[in-house]
């Protein structure tokens, strides 16, 4: 089984290197900096690496990668995925709609992808940027771009991974005796003994004056 599982990985690497090249960046700080550069437009590329099994239970998980898009993307994207060895991974990435430029943060559970509900902006220039995703044991997360926090929150509220706490009842109907009035008089309500009638009158007059000022604030007479 180990040989059969590794064969597709070797094939994927061979195909990638056949159509990619080791190149230096057009804009760089040191000449020695280089990397794998894709060479053809409108193509899907993938590279993967196997690593020992681990668990992040009660630990902070940090997933980070750097990418440099040397040409403006009309429709495309760059992804890093942390997946298990048993997953049936048929699709590595996906196209980005023309008018949408954002950072995708996706959790996969029970064969379904759950996208973050918050907007996370991405960089659109042709420079190198570092993207970091931090997941903590208390189910909080942070998304950083170039070490600047772009979004933070809770996994419970910012993804639809868990079932909703409340759902609509399709059989629920409004009772016939339902009262739509927001406020109703309380027949048992009485004025406190400590409240002075004169003070209540003054407050009432002040409210009337304020209402009149608001009512005629837009009228001017020359």
pLDDT, tens only, 148-204: 988 888 888 888 888 878 888 888 888 888 878 777 777 887 777 766 556 656 665
The span from the CA of 78 to the CA of 92, in Å, is 10
Higher-confidence position of 26 and 113: 113
The span from the CA of 41 to the CA of 36, in Å, is 15
3 state DSSP class of 215: helix
The span from the CA of 75 to the CA of 117, in Å, is 21
Higher-confidence position of 139 and 220: 139
Number of neighbouring beta carbons within 10 Å of residue 67: 15
Cβ(47)–Cβ(147) below 8 Å:
no
3 state DSSP class of 211: helix
- Quick one: average pLDDT of 125-143? 88
pLDDT-derived band of residue 81, with 50, 70 and 90 as boundaries? confident
pLDDT over 70 at 27, yes or no:
no
The span from the CA of 207 to the CA of 219, in Å, is 20
Dihedral over alpha carbons 126, 115, 8, 53 (to 10 degrees): 100
pTM, to two decimals: 0.55
The span from the CA of 140 to the CA of 126, in Å, is 31
Domain ranges of the chain: 1-50, 57-171
Higher-confidence position of 125 and 205: 125
Tell me what pLDDT residue 48 has.
Answer: 81
Tell me what pLDDT residue 161 has.
Answer: 81
| CATH 2.60.120.200 matches 57-171 | yes
Question: E strands within 78-120?
Answer: 106-109, 112-115
């Amino acid at each position: 089984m180990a040989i059969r599982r590794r064969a597709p990985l070797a094939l994927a690497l061979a195909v990638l290197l056949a159509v990619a090249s080791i190149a230096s960046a057009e804009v760089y700080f040191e000449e020695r900096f280089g990397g794998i550069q894709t060479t053809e437009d409108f193509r899907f590329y993938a590279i993967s690496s196997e690593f020992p099994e681990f668990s992040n239970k009660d630990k902070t998980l940090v997933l980070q990668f750097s990418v440099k898009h040397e040409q403006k993307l009309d429709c495309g994207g760059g992804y890093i995925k942390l997946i298990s060895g048993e997953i049936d991974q048929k699709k590595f990435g996906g196209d980005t709609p023309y008018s949408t430029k954002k950072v995708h943060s996706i959790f996969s559970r029970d064969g379904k992808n759950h996208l973050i509900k918050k907007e996370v902006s991405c960089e659109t220039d042709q420079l190198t940027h570092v993207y970091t995703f931090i997941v903590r044991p208390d189910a909080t997360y942070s998304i950083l771009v170039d070490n600047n926090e772009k979004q933070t929150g809770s996994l419970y509220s910012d993804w639809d991974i868990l079932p909703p706490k409340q759902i609509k009842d399709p059989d629920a109907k409004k009772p016939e005796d339902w009262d739509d009035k927001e406020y109703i008089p309380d027949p048992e309500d009485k004025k406190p003994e400590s409240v002075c009638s004169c003070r209540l009158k003054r407050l009432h007059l002040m409210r009337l004056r304020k209402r009149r000022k608001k009512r005629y604030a837009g009228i001017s007479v020359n």
